[in-house]
Structure 1
Amino acid sequence: MASPASISCLLALFLLLRPHAALAVLHRHRFPSLLLASFNASEPPTTFFEVDRPIRPPRGSVGPCSALLLSHSFGYTYGRPPVTVAYEPPACLAAAPGSLALAVLEWSADCRGRQFDRIFGVWLSGVELLRSCTAEPRATGIIWSVSRDVSRYVALLAVPGEIAVYLGNLIDSTYTGVYHANLTLHLYFHPAPPPQQPQHADLIVPISRSLPLNEGQWFVIQNSSDVRSKKLVIPPNTYRAVLEVFVSFHSNDEDWYMHPPNEYIEANNMSSLPGNGAFRAITVKVDGDVVGAIWPFTVIYTGGVNPLLWRPITGIGSFNLPTYDIDITPFLGKLLDGKKHDFRFGVTNALDVWFIDANLHLWLDHKSVKTSGSLVSYDAPALALKVDSEFRALDGQFVTSASWHVSATGWVKSSYGNVTTTFYQRFSYENINVYTKNGTVQVVNQTIDAKSGALSRSGIVLLSEEVHRVFPLYIFSGTSDQVGDEYSLVSVVKIGFYERRTSDRKLKFSYSSLRNVQSAHGDMRVKKNLVVDGLGETHQMYKYADTDGCYSRYVGSRNYTIIFYHSGDVCSKGPPHVGPKLSAMKHT
């Protein structure tokens, strides 16, 4: 999302006064959509897309039964109330909620003109269903869509509520793009409820800001000491609880992984620039106890680094930002007393601004009025964070490393028996940030490794789940040929999202693995903070496999044009590898 205009003005002034420090600030700039040349108004709009696998209904299911939830044009909406409409469950869902096979929320939109990328969110009765970034338009127009599997919210979809959408857009004589959007719900059903239907939560409680307000329903975190919270009463017959957390970072912290430590900024008299180093982590507390954390994937929005890299292939996660689950079942023994309990979020080293909220998924024991439980063991040591720095004037190297873990075990007694649950998280992090050539070249090598798991047993294993995610990132950014307010910028981005999931539910085993890698490079000429010329090329490899099959896509683009595209459902080695291997992504 674009930084405030006042920040952009400060940065432009700083560049003019200290051109030798160009790189130290250039990655803070936001570049709007480009109008590089004359255009033919009769040209069809360009389709933008995030590479992902299709969401397919289960075999034998029927549908879709579709309902248009909202249709709206987002013009000058910044700082104004979200658009709201009443929600009524589609008749097909009201008639057979127990037979739901799949629910898909689809956002489709078009735009024409010039505009920054804008973050937006979709909520149903305060529960966030989708967080996404808009594509940046062009004069001939663009279209795009994003779909998210929302089956886990079936308990919420089955009751009346209110849809809220916030997309903070600005319109003036320069930035003319209006986003015209439709929001649609597609439902698929089993002809008859299968004997082993996935057990979704019975109740979903929002941990977000309540309407009315003049912004999104997310909490706004502006610095490292800023903590946001909400107090909730947990139903007394709850036997399982999982927090689903939405996270996004913007403005001064949009590129936090490229930030030098404050000592570098102070030594070079750059007090107007963002700092606090290159490590960020979201900490989640319940009644003061740390129950988990999120070390977030480094989403690059459609205007980030070099916007020409993301046309029409957008950055991983930019259209469908990932969410993060924290199982708090071990703590239920402390939460089932009928009193309000404090759910709290903070961000280590945060700068303005982070948007965070959460959905609390609760499973209820319908055969009993009250469950009971107790926390058996708990371990959450202090974060181990280390920064080694060595620099002289504008050149230097900063190596940041971190590790942390949490584990908790507790039991809950319900009509299902006495079930003991263990939840754990383990994290490691390394970021190598190097400035050379008098601060005009910056290279970032970063890897985030996050593993979490939950095990529930009552004599036999009832549930065993493990998720392992690895996020490698490499960025090269170099400036040259600066004359006054005009300069050239060369960028290279290599980014990966690797995930492996295993699940055993009552002896029914499943797994999935994802390898999603982008390699992009480009250059652009910038004048008065507007791109006047440039090139961007992106290659992406997406390979997904699960218990039921495989899917792969191999696609490349160059300046709005697809140069190759392959997709298939065959489990094979596929086309050549794109970019560095995971183990070689660092120190490239």
Structure 2
Amino acid sequence: MGGASPRLLLLFLLLHVNLLTARLHRAKLTPADEEQPSLAATPPRDLPPFSPTTFFEVTKPAPLPPASAPACSALLLQHDFGYTYGRPPVTAAYRPSCARLRRGRAPSHVVLQWSASSQGRQFDRIFGVWLGGVELLRSCTAEPRPNGIVWTVRKDVTRYAALFVRPQTLAVYLGNLVDNTYTGVYHVNVSLHFYFDSSHGPRRAADYHAPGFSTPADLVLPLSRSLPLNDGLWFLIQNSTDVQSTKLAIPVNTYRAVLEVYVSFHSADEFWYTNPPNVYLSENNITYLPGNGAFREVIASLDGEVLGAIWPFTVIYTGGVNPLLWRPISGIGSFDLPSYDIEITPFLGKVLDGKLHEYGFSVTDALNVWFIDANLHLWLDRQSSYTSGSLIAYEAPSYAPSLYSQFEGLDGEFKTIASRYISSTGWVNSSYGEITTHFFQKLEFGNLMVFSGNGSNQMINQTIDFEYGINTKHPSSVLYSEHVLRSFPLYLYTGTTDQVNDTYTEVANLSIGFDENRFSGQKFGFAYSSLKNLQTASGYMKVKGNLVQSGLGSTQQVYTYESTDGCYFRNVSSSNYTILYDNSNDSCTKSLPLGKQFGTG
């Protein structure tokens, strides 16, 4: 290393995290030629005045049965979220509205719909929707503008079907603040749409030779905080040593279990992938200290033993980097944050004793704050009062990181590489016989962080490769297998110029992708899906204080989904609220594996 003194470089690296986070997120639009409305002029719930802009996240439509109209729908909640920060979640009583639900019949498809409008100026706000403590949706609000905005999220929540046949408490937390500057109130409707097969009802797990893989779980239990609260039901992870946990006993006739984990990152760790490592510098060498840096790993544990790891997708919220990039096309995952599944069936033998066991969550090298909770999906053996099992093989060595750096003065680079492998195998004996399940995760991480312009510019080039698989065997045959490969590429460049006191210009270019290939097979056939979702964006903004005085944001997105069940394609581009083009179709354009085409099944 050369150039700047070690003390100066250390000071730069320690201060950079807070400065970068502030600039990447806290700039809010306030065009000088647009008058901000007073709170009294906030639009009514159903019809914002002027010409509201429709914001959206590009994704394939929720899969529905052939009959397009729902059998019944229920408006669960209608509320105006204004002065709600640090106050209890808004709750409502849910009761099954369809006659078939009241008779205990589970729906074949369920769609959760979040519809919202707002007007004025506001930060983006994270929010969650829970039913009976089970999280159904983690999302971020769109940022309003003076003439109003509207947006809708439609999410397939069929996997939670067991929840909807009995009364529950709905809880929604959206912490919002309203004052003379930030006037946006979020007017929200939350609904459920229920669909039923034309047959007498969906087949239960007992009707399948491969139980538990083609039907939703029989029971979904929350691993979250309980009401009453003055926040969301998620756990708050404050730092790298913080472990949040809850204790739960499961039915003793469980034969399959999947842990679904919701993750979001905020405040000092909203842009964790841009954080340089903590270092101690001497004249001759550099020593890396624990904590911070650009690597994060979410760990789920059972009684202190690692169940699985999550290396999360880098969701950029609607106020992140440059707010103009996300108007009206929202960032990938921002309106429907992904959840992550961990197959924990191999561990069932440890918890089939009817006793409480501790499920914990932590984040490697975390800064304040991460929101994490989980849902435990359980399949029950209706033909037996109890099941038994045992863990056969297990390995979960710590992740293997390496860190490289080279600097001249304040310009240089950090390169972080990490890898991880987790594997578990166990058997469960039920009325289906003895079934052996193997689950594995293989994760690879690389982050190259380059500083230039005497430390005023930063480039991030990062890739996360996330591979996992499930293999379930009966003594006589393979019942089910699934193999999933995910890749999360990210390129981000930010540069600051014309900095005078509290005024500066920031330029940003980014490319972010969510790619997934999924293969599964059982005696009934083969299924395949491929998703390539790529977003590129660029823009600049002139900022004074924390308000954008002027700027430009352009975004282009190509979404391609192909599967044995159907296809969806969309190519859309925008520039400062204006859609330049928007092309989409739901036809398969090339041969799928095994010659499967849309509609041929």
Contact 2:259 2:374 in 1 (8 A): yes
Shift of 1:507: 3.4
The residue number in structure 2 matching 1:512 is 529
Shift of 1:97: 5.2
Counterpart check, 1:321 vs 2:325 = no
The residue number in structure 2 matching 1:496 is 513
The residue number in structure 1 matching 2:412 is 396
Pick aligned residue for 1:121 from 114, 125, 128: 128
Alignment of 1:277-356 (within 5 A): 277-356=293-372
Shift of 1:527: 0.7
Pick aligned residue for 2:138 from 126, 131, 142: 131
Shift of 1:95: 4.7
* Residues 541-566 of structure 1, C-alpha deviations (whole Å, 9 max, x = no match): 00001112211000000001101100
Alignment of 1:60-459 (within 5 A): 60=67, 63-95=70-102, 98=105, 100-192=107-199, 193=201, 198-263=214-279, 276-458=292-474, 459=476
* Residues 461-491 of structure 1, C-alpha deviations (whole Å, 9 max, x = no match): 2121122110000000001111111111000
Call closer, same or farther: CA 1:172–1:350 in 2, change over 3 Å.
Answer: same
Contact 2:72 2:98 in 1 (8 A): no
Matches of 1:340 and 1:22 in 2, distance apart? 44
Matched to 2:582, the amino acid is: Y
Contact 1:61 1:190 in 2 (8 A): no
The residue number in structure 1 matching 2:51 is 44
Contact 1:99 1:190 in 2 (8 A): no
Matches of 1:401 and 1:160 in 2, distance apart? 48
Shift of 1:424: 0.5
The residue number in structure 1 matching 2:29 is 34
Gaps of 5+ in 2: 1-10, 38-48, 209-213, 284-289, 591-601
* Residues 338-397 of structure 1, C-alpha deviations (whole Å, 9 max, x = no match): 111110100000000000000000000011111001111111111101111122432110
Contact 1:23 1:478 in 2 (8 A): no
Shift of 1:572: 2.9
Pick aligned residue for 1:25 from 10, 19, 22: 19
Matches of 1:56 and 1:151 in 2, distance apart? 10
Contact 1:247 1:296 in 2 (8 A): yes
Matched to 2:217, the amino acid is: A
Matches of 1:413 and 1:256 in 2, distance apart? 43
- Overall identity of the aligned pairs, in %: 59
Q: Tell me, what secondary structure is at the counterpart of 2:162?
A: helix
Call closer, same or farther: CA 1:93–1:123 in 2, change over 3 Å.
Answer: farther
Matches of 1:309 and 1:336 in 2, distance apart? 50
Matched to 1:568, the amino acid is: N
* Residues 18-57 of structure 1, C-alpha deviations (whole Å, 9 max, x = no match): 9xx8898234333354221434996300000000111131
Alignment coverage as a number of residue pairs: 549
Call closer, same or farther: CA 1:384–1:275 in 2, change over 3 Å.
Answer: closer
Contact 1:32 1:136 in 2 (8 A): no
Matches of 2:548 and 2:438 in 1, distance apart? 52
The residue number in structure 2 matching 1:485 is 502
Contact 2:18 2:268 in 1 (8 A): no
Q: Tell me, what secondary structure is at the counterpart of 1:257?
A: helix
Tell me the TM-score normalised to structure 1 length: 0.90
Pick aligned residue for 2:554 from 518, 537, 541: 537
Matches of 1:265 and 1:64 in 2, distance apart? 66
Matches of 1:242 and 1:410 in 2, distance apart? 14
Contact 1:285 1:343 in 2 (8 A): yes
Call closer, same or farther: CA 1:532–1:23 in 2, change over 3 Å.
Answer: farther
Matched to 1:495, the amino acid is: I
The residue number in structure 2 matching 1:584 is none
Matched to 2:312, the amino acid is: P
Shift of 1:63: 2.2
Shift of 1:93: 4.2
Contact 1:33 1:137 in 2 (8 A): no
Call closer, same or farther: CA 1:207–1:23 in 2, change over 3 Å.
Answer: closer
Matched to 2:234, the amino acid is: W
Call closer, same or farther: CA 1:101–1:378 in 2, change over 3 Å.
Answer: same
Contact 1:103 1:187 in 2 (8 A): yes
Matches of 2:202 and 2:371 in 1, distance apart? 39
Matches of 2:273 and 2:306 in 1, distance apart? 24
Contact 1:451 1:469 in 2 (8 A): yes
Shift of 1:112: 0.4
Matched to 2:183, the amino acid is: T
Q: Tell me, what secondary structure is at the counterpart of 1:262?
A: strand
Tell me the TM-score normalised to structure 2 length: 0.88
Matched to 2:415, the amino acid is: V
Matches of 1:341 and 1:385 in 2, distance apart? 31
Q: Tell me, what secondary structure is at the counterpart of 2:96?
A: coil
* Residues 386-411 of structure 1, C-alpha deviations (whole Å, 9 max, x = no match): 11112243211000000001111100
